[in-house]
Amino acid sequence: MTAPVTYSRDGDIAAICIDNPPVNAMGADVRAALVSAFEEFSADSAARIAVLYGTGRTFVAGADIREFGKTPKEPLLPDLINRIEALDKPVLCVMHGSTLGGGLELAMGAHVRLGLPGLKLGLPETSLGILPGAGGTQRLPRLAGMEAALEMIVSARHVGAEEARALGILDALADEGAEPLAAGREMAARLLSEGVALRRTCDLPAPEIMAEKLAEIRAYAVKRYPGQIAQLTAIDAAIEGAALPFHDGVKHERRLFMRLIESPQRAALIHAFFAERKVAQLPELAGIIPRPHGQIGVIGGGRMGSGIAVAALLAGLDVTLIERDAEAAAIAQAAVAQTLGESVKRGKLSKDKRAHILSESFRAAHDHAALAECDVVIEAVFEDMEIKRDVFRALDQHCRPGAVLATNTSYLEIPQIAAATSRPADVLGLHFFSPAHVMRLLEIVVPEGTAPDTVATGFALGKKLRKVSVRAGVCDGFIGNRILQVYRAAADHMVLAGASPYQVDQAVTGFGFPMGPYAVQDLAGLDIGYMTRQRKAATRDSREFVPRWGDVMHERGWYGRKTQQGYYSYGPDHPRGAPSAEVEEIIAAERAERGVTPRSFTDEEIIARYMAAMVNEAAKVVGEGIAARPLDVDVTLLHGYGFPRCRGGPMHWADTQGLESLLHQIEGFQNEDAYFWQAAPLLQELVAKGATFASLNET
């Protein structure tokens, strides 16, 4: 086995190389090897300066994720960095690729830092429920200033090489095309000739920050990461540590770091981190080669279709968008151009790149024949089975053999859509979430009979679009919308029983969701819910409770935000909505018609029922194979439905609460409505075995 760290010397310049593919993660073996290498450097009287660098595509991309949640092994990273910083000979660190977390902390312990073009660096620990625990909260403020350091730590964002140089994190930038070792040797030789002096970051003065700026950063952390404790704890570590002697500040940082390590939020965020990386790893796709997917067709230029087109264009793909006539095509063309213009304003796209995309990579037409050379065609038209089947008949006629034909339906039976073609093996669902160029979730819905390379193409396209892709089976609503219908129904049951929609929303946002179920319906449009109820009416079980107040609101023309009235009233004085007395009157009238005497609910009781319904239906979804594993549900709810990330997803949350107590709750609710509260067989099975949802994630 190749050593993860090697020491060599050429003249008076030593070279310490980290070679631990694929990303030079700072595992225990790497840390131990670095200690040995620096001891050798210290003892080598002929070596006057050391160049620390990494091989491969990156310097050090952070800690070894295999060690997350385990007892730390010595040597600990803070001790290693302190030993490097205390050396009496200079260390030059050369950074390239992604230098993140412990990699940046290691670099800040060196005496000089050189960056290569294309470098991205950052401290992403707060996104994992922890804080930079190897001196990051103490050294970064000394290099970049307290305000810039706190902004980087709280947001966990990556900083480019030019910005890092401007902030003082880097001492110099290498030329374009430079290699780490060669650039490091060149700079080391120059430093020796100029008479380099040791510059230890720990000896720099601790910076201060204006009280107003600190308050702004705290307010941003609370608003942007509701309910999460890592961001505020990291701020405390930096501010409180700056008031102490440096090494006391590092010890204080470490105490807060260890406190976060024991936090349930850390476990939840780490679970989310691993789940997102595992969700697209499907054994059935091993070795399957995707079909070409560089030329994309989109049918429909509305909000969803234009969003899909923009997502593909931003990913560097060629896009042809089809609308029903020339006028509609022109409107769609303008919508895409406007959205790309907004990307320019946000600094995500250059003006020249936008112009190139619109002139070379995008076109809108009204003839399906324009799709003849497309590799993948995505239908995004009105949610009506016959309309979609008509589209697929046209695609079957005009698209080349082997082209993947995808539908963006949210609910409809994809096999029925595929049956309109002569090539059902080429058909699958690609369920985007609106706005499609922003939302990261992509449900890849796989009907029986879809070819494996069709599925592989869906996942390859999702990766190209930078989506988090989840495999889903065929049922009404797939994974996310099927579960959504049930926990929304649980909310309706509570409103009928006496809770107000506004208390339900308040309880749900207090739990960590960005919006409650009734505010979400207003945002989506109450007409959408009405059409769904109409579509399902013919096959609905007579025992199912469906409230009539939504139909009454629809009859009055109350569609939510777009009509300024839904569950909430909207206007200049309350753009986010204000509770509506008229809505409460409509609900009260239905209670009276049904003979319901309203009772009060606590927020805790609302969350207990809301979450029990969510987890129980999710267990049915996993048990039926609609979702392959519980982690697929967690990722879907995290990225498509606003589930609070610091709780890890509904299945992880259920494990932390205890499945036996959850099942007991559901069995208790059965006394009120035995039809709605039917315990999932999988939940019952796991409780009987004493197992957890997590135990199923290895399949």
Catalytic residues: 105, 125
Q: How many helices (H) and strands (E) does the chain have?
A: 28, 19
Determine which helix (DSSP H) or strand (DSSP E) holds 574, and give its type and residue range.
Answer: strand 574-579
How far, in Å, CA of 445 to CA of 63, rounded? 35
* Sequence-ordered list of residues with C-beta below 8 angstroms from that of 138, at least 6 positions apart, any chain: 202, 206, 238, 241, 242, 246, 249, 250, 253
CA atoms lying within 13 Å on the CB side of residue 589: 11
Amino acid at 654: A
For residue 405, how far is the Cα from the chain centroid?
A: 27
Question: Is 257 in contact with 130 (CB distance < 8 Å)?
Answer: yes
Q: How far apart are the first and last CA of the chain?
A: 30
Q: What is the DSSP string of 448-512?
A: TT--HHHHHHHHHHHHHTT-EEEEE-SSTTTTHHHHHHHHHHHHHHHHHHT--HHHHHHHHHHHT
Determine which helix (DSSP H) or strand (DSSP E) holds 342, and give its type and residue range.
Answer: helix 326-345
Amino acid at 101: G
How far, in Å, CA of 315 to CA of 463, rounded? 10
* Sequence-ordered list of residues with C-beta below 8 angstroms from that of 360, at least 6 positions apart, any chain: none
Name the residue with tokens 């695609």. 395
Q: What is the DSSP letter of 302?
A: S
How far, in Å, CA of 303 to CA of 465, rounded? 18
* Sequence-ordered list of residues with C-beta below 8 angstroms from that of 284, at least 6 positions apart, any chain: 452, 455
* Sequence-ordered list of residues with C-beta below 8 angstroms from that of 356, at least 6 positions apart, any chain: none
Residue 370, classified by CB atoms within 10 Å of its CB into exposed (0-12), middle (13-18) or buried (19+), is middle
Q: Which of 289, 261, 2, 257 is nearest to 135 (CA)?
A: 257
Q: What is the DSSP string of 376-441?
A: EEEE---S-HHHHHHHHHHHHHHSPTT-EEEE--SSS-HHHHHTTSS-GGGEEEEEE-SSTTT--E
Q: What is the token pair recorded at 509?
A: 């946002």
Q: What is the token pair recorded at 356?
A: 């190139």
